[in-house]
Amino acid sequence: MTGFERWGAMMARTLYGPGGFYTRELPGRHFATSAQTPVFAEAVARLVDEVDERLGRPAAFTVLDVGAGGGELLERLAGLLDERIALRAVELRPRPEHLPARVAWGAEVPETVEGLLIACELLDNVPCDVAVVDADGRIRYEEVNGQGETRLGGPVSAEDAAWLAEWWPIGEPGEKAEIGLPREAKWRDLTARLVRGTALAIDYGHMKERRPPAGTMNGFRDGREIPPVPDGTRDITAHVAVDAVECDHRERQRDALLRLGLDATLPPVHLAFQNPVGYAHALAAASAAARLTDPEGLGAHWWLRTDRD
Ligand SMILES: C[S@@+](CC[C@H](N)C(=O)[O-])C[C@H]1O[C@@H](n2cnc3c(N)ncnc32)[C@H](O)[C@@H]1O
What's the CA angle centered on 183, arms 177 and 189, to 5 degrees? Answer: 160
Q: What is the pLDDT of residue 291?
A: 96
> pLDDT tens string for the chain (309 positions)?
459 999 999 999 999 999 999 999 999 988 899 999 999 999 999 999 999 999 999 999 999 999 999 999 999 999 999 999 999 999 999 999 999 999 999 999 999 999 999 999 999 999 999 999 999 999 999 999 999 999 999 999 999 999 999 999 999 999 999 999 999 999 999 999 999 999 999 999 999 999 999 999 999 999 999 999 999 999 999 999 999 999 999 999 999 999 999 998 999 999 999 999 999 999 999 999 999 999 999 999 999 999 999
Sign (positive/negative) of CA torsion 253, 258, 259, 260?
positive
Q: Does residue 237 have its Cβ closer than 6 Å to ligand 1?
A: no
The atom number, within ligand 1, closest to the CA of 67 reads 12
**What value, to the nearest 5°, has the Cα angle with vertex 23 and ends 105 and 35?**
55
Distance (Å, rounded) from C-alpha 175 to C-alpha 149? 17
* Mutational test site, ligand 1, from 29, 88, 105, 125, max ligand atoms within 8 Å of CB: 125
> How many angstroms does the Cα of residue 89 sit away from the middle of ligand 1?
10
Query: Atom 4 in ligand 1: which residue has the minimum CA distance?
Result: 69
Separation between Cα atoms, residue 246 and residue 254, nearest integer Å: 21
For each of the domains in the chain, give its residue range(s) and CATH number, in order of start: 10-126+179-261+297-308 (3.40.50.12710), 130-177 (no CATH)
75 lines ligand 1 (CB under 6 A): no
Distance 123 CA to ligand 1 centre (A): 9
Report the residue among 91, 95, 234, 303 best suited for mutation to probe ligand 1: largest number of ligand atoms under 8 A from its CB.
91
Atom of ligand 1 nearest to the CA of 35: 8
Q: Is the CB of 93 under 6 A from ligand 1?
A: yes
The Å distance, Cα 140 to ligand 1 centre, comes to: 29
Please name the residue whose Cα sits nearest to atom 26 of ligand 1: 69
Distances (CA, A) of 44 to 25, 68, 122, 159, 299: 25, 14, 17, 37, 15
